[in-house]
């Protein structure tokens, strides 16, 4: 399927640096109808996530987008955040004015359910953080997998090392119980053959989620030359300074946020640049041709001494269970990066 005009997105995130870039990409994409954003704890605490989310949307010129806070802790574990990766406030060295629009009165998981019910078959949910809000939403409304048009998940490590523990990815590691609930809920429904009336086939097999793990998201690397190209497209220097001495606020934000992120990756990953996991996932929700997927059965380890949070993937089909996830195995990172530079650069030029 190619890009779809008028794709209705609901984003659930834990707004750190790459989440904020994903939000900018959503606003910059003409085919994206950003319905609402729900916030969960992860990169930083949920209250800071909500502040960052609203501030970034206001920076992008979309203060009208509804932002709701959800659960502030994982389902069964203490919250762990990552200030070493995203900074104490989640946006690196960047400074943003305080958000002016109040939070939505709605609770994040309820918003997800209500919007899915309001427009059945139309809404694509994109998750960029731990799956806590989505797990609560599907527990409240078991039909959620059949009400959504699709679910795109940034999370997991399916055939690559982890980035939190040797085999685990951050979003799943923060709340593995929620990830397990979501992966199971979106799998094929078991129909009781003894029942007098069986449900239609299409209602028992929701669209499988598309999951982008580290296997593909670490191929999306923002390098200094990408930031320079984006700034040039916006008509300014890489630090956001325009020829007349004024400052482009979006480019300045990107420069300051990404400098922190690039320093982190220089220390831990051996290159001066940044993995921009979340923008690739959001871009895939708008254009699925950016990735190639394989239908697979995925479960989440909850009790391992060394492997809790691992997305255990049945590559050889030894379980004999039907696939429940379309796992991304390849990504066109070159096309994605060109599109990111073009769209966010043009957004910055307009702002």
Distance CA 170, CA 179 (A): 12
Residue reference for tokens 């793990």: 213
> Does residue 108 sit within a domain?
yes
Q: Are strands 32-39 and 7-13 parallel, antiparallel or unpaired?
A: parallel
For residue 92, is it left (φ>0), alpha (ψ between -120 and 50) or beta?
A: left
> Does residue 125 sit within a domain?
yes
Structure confidence at residue 203 (pLDDT): 45
Could you give the residue ranges of the DSSP H alpha helices within 269-308? 277-286
For residue 162, is it left (φ>0), alpha (ψ between -120 and 50) or beta?
A: beta
Domains: count for the chain: 1
> Does residue 315 sit within a domain?
yes
CA-to-CA separations, 178 to 174, 271, 300, 341, in angstroms, rounded: 9, 32, 9, 34
Q: What angle do CA 201, 207, 211 make, to 5 degrees?
A: 150
Structural domain including 305 reads 7-187+205-350
Structure confidence at residue 6 (pLDDT): 81
What sign does the CA torsion over 298, 301, 307, 310 have?
A: positive
Strand, coil or helix: 244: coil
Instruction: Show Cβ contacts of residue 166 under 8 Å, excluding neighbours closer than 6 positions.
Output: 306
Q: What are phi and psi of 236, to 5 degrees?
A: -150, 175
> Does residue 198 sit within a domain?
no
8 is catalytic: no
Q: Angle between the 249-268 and 17-28 helix axes, to the nearest 10 degrees? A: 140
> Does residue 61 sit within a domain?
yes
CATH number where 131 lies: 3.90.245.10
Residue reference for tokens 């599907």: 138
> Does residue 195 sit within a domain?
no
Catalytic entry in 86, 226, 265, 277: 277
SS3 percent helix, strand, coil of the chain, rounded to 5, is: 40, 15, 45
Tokens of 279: 């923008």
Distance CA 104, CA 261 (A): 30
Q: What are phi and psi of 182, to 5 degrees?
A: -70, -45
> Does residue 69 sit within a domain?
yes
Q: Of 143, 142, 132, which Cα lies nearest the Cα of 107? A: 132
Structure confidence at residue 205 (pLDDT): 55
Structure confidence at residue 1 (pLDDT): 35
Q: What are phi and psi of 257, to 5 degrees?
A: -70, -45
> Does residue 129 sit within a domain?
yes
**Full pLDDT tens readout for the chain, 351 residues:** 334 458 999 999 999 999 999 999 999 999 999 999 999 999 999 999 999 999 999 999 999 999 999 999 999 999 999 999 999 999 999 999 999 999 999 999 999 999 999 999 999 999 999 999 999 999 999 999 999 999 999 999 999 999 999 999 999 999 999 999 999 999 887 543 334 333 433 444 568 999 999 999 999 999 999 999 999 999 999 999 999 999 999 999 999 999 999 999 999 999 999 999 999 999 999 999 999 999 999 999 999 999 999 999 999 999 999 999 999 999 999 999 999 999 999 999 998
Tokens of 214: 């580290």
What sign does the CA torsion over 171, 173, 174, 180 have?
A: positive
Question: What is the model's pTM?
Answer: 0.94
Q: What are phi and psi of 107, to 5 degrees?
A: -85, 135
């Amino acid at each position: 399927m190619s890009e779809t005009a008028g794709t209705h997105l609901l984003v659930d995130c834990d707004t750190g640096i790459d989440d904020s870039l994903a939000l900018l990409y959503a606003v910059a994409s003409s085919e994206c109808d950003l319905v609402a954003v729900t916030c969960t704890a992860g990169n930083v605490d949920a209250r800071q996530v909500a502040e960052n989310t609203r501030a970034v949307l206001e920076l992008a010129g979309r203060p009208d987008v509804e932002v709701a806070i959800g659960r502030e802790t994982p389902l069964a574990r203490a919250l762990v955040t990552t200030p070493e990766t995203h900074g104490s406030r989640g946006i690196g060295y960047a400074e943003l004015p305080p958000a002016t629009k109040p939070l939505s009165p709605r609770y994040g998981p309820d918003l997800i359910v209500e919007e899915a019910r309001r427009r059945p078959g139309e809404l694509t949910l994109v998750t960029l953080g731990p799956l806590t809000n989505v797990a609560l939403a599907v527990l409240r409304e078991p039909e959620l997998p059949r009400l959504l048009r699709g679910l795109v998940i940034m999370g997991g490590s399916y055939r690559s090392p982890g980035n939190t523990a040797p085999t685990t990815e951050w979003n799943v590691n923060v709340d593995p119980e929620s990830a397990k609930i979501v992966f199971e809920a979106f799998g094929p429904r078991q129909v009781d053959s003894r029942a007098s009336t069986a449900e239609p086939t299409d209602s028992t097999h929701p669209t499988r989620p598309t999951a982008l793990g580290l296997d593909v998201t670490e191929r999306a690397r923002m390098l200094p030359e990408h930031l320079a190209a984006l700034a040039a497209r916006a008509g300014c220097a890489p630090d956001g300074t325009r020829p007349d001495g004024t400052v482009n606020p979006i480019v300045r934000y990107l420069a300051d946020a990404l400098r922190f992120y690039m320093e982190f990756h220089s220390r831990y990953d051996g290159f001066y640049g940044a993995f921009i996991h979340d923008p690739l996932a959001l871009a895939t929700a708008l254009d699925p041709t950016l990735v190639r997927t394989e239908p697979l059965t995925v479960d989440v380890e909850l009790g391992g001494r060394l492997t809790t949070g691992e997305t255990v993937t049945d590559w050889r089909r030894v379980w004999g269970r039907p696939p429940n996830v379309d796992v991304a195995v390849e990504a066109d990172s070159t096309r994605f990066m060109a599109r990111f530079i073009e769209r966010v650069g043009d957004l910055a030029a307009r702002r």
